[in-house]
Amino acid sequence: MATWAWILIIVVLIALGVLALRQRRAAALRRRFGPEYERAVEVQEDRRAAEAELREREKQHALLDIRPLPEDTRERFALEWLDLQEHFVDEPSDAVMAADRLVYIVMDARGYPMGDFDTQAGLVSVDHPQVVENYRIAHGIHGRALARQASTEDLREALLRYRSLFDELLRASDDEAAQR
Within 10 angstroms of residue 13's Cβ, the number of other Cβ atoms is 10
User: Counting Cβ atoms within 10 Å, is residue 35 exposed (0-12), middle (13-18) or buried (19+)?
Assistant: middle
Share of the chain above pLDDT 90, in %: 58
State the average pLDDT for the chain: 87
Considering only CA atoms, which of 170, 4, 151, 142 is closest in space to residue 73?
Answer: 170
1-15, 26-40, 62-76, 83-97: least confident range: 1-15
Q: What is the pTM of this model?
A: 0.79
pLDDT band at 93 (very low <50, low <70, confident <90, very high): very high
Under DSSP, the state recorded for 11 is: H
User: Counting Cβ atoms within 10 Å, is residue 99 exposed (0-12), middle (13-18) or buried (19+)?
Assistant: buried
Q: What is the pLDDT of residues 50-84, one digit of tens each?
A: 989 899 999 999 999 999 999 999 999 999 999 99
The Cα 103–Cα 126 span in angstroms is 17
Residue 26 identity? A
User: Counting Cβ atoms within 10 Å, is residue 19 exposed (0-12), middle (13-18) or buried (19+)?
Assistant: exposed
Q: Which residues contact 68 (CB under 8 A, 6 or more apart)?
A: 110, 172, 173, 174, 176, 177, 180
